[in-house]
Amino acid sequence: MRRLSALIFLITMLLCVLCRSEVNAQSRHGLDSIPVSAVVIGTDTIPFITLSIVEVVDKLPKKFRKQRAQWTRLRNAVYVTYPYAKSAARILKDVNSRLATLHDKKDRKKYLEGIEKQMKAQFGDKLENLSVYQGKVLMKLINRETGENCYEIIKELKGGFSARMWQTVAFFFGGNLKSEYDYEEDKDIEAIVQEIEMYRGSRAYN
């Protein structure tokens, strides 16, 4: 890389040596004219522009390419699932507020069935298209946004049997409804979340 930079510098110096004289460019003849330096070689006047030195590097080593691929995969997963986690937190807050006013068991059941129907209509197809990896990231983000893991949320709203059943299903797909967000362990996810929030904030002021 240093040899290449030195070579570019050497070529530039040779051009200067070969030039018999250096003159300023002629005055502008129109609005589209750009003044540049020029060199006169024999009877020819040649524009002369010094380019910035650039560095040419080789491809990333294999281990770094793997790390970059992993980061890109995680970043894409967070960008896809973070809006769902935010929606889940907002919906859960509304549901808990509403349930606090319903004391009849039948009314609570009817209300939860209506909410479940609305959620399936609004998010069903989109969530079904998530990959298993994206699903794992989503569970962590839901815990980050709500303070509860998915197992606790299902148990609270649908009962212990449903929570255990869905935990078993998640287990067979390599997931865990009890996944919790750890700011140290999940620092890469947190960095991406902060990136999203910063981008969202900058758009709000533009």
Q: Identify the residue whose tokens are 């809006």.
A: 83
What is the C-alpha separation between 45 and 21, in angstroms, rounded? 10
Alpha-carbon separation of residue 68 from 71, 127, 139, 140 (angstroms): 5, 26, 23, 22
The pLDDT of residue 166 is above 80: no
Alpha-carbon separation of residue 174 from 20, 75, 132, 134 (angstroms): 74, 20, 8, 12
What type of residue is 190?
E
The pLDDT of residue 28 is above 70: no
Angle, helices 150-158/132-146, rounded to nearest 10 degrees: 70
pTM higher than 0.75 for the full model? no
CB within 8 Å of 90: residues ≥ 6 apart: none
The arithmetic mean of pLDDT across residues 156-183, rounded, is 80
124 pLDDT tier (thresholds 50, 70, 90): confident
CB within 8 Å of 115: residues ≥ 6 apart: 91, 95
Q: Containing H/E element for 114?
A: helix 105-128
CB within 8 Å of 49: residues ≥ 6 apart: 36, 37
Range with lowest mean pLDDT among 24-38, 42-56, 89-103, 124-138: 24-38
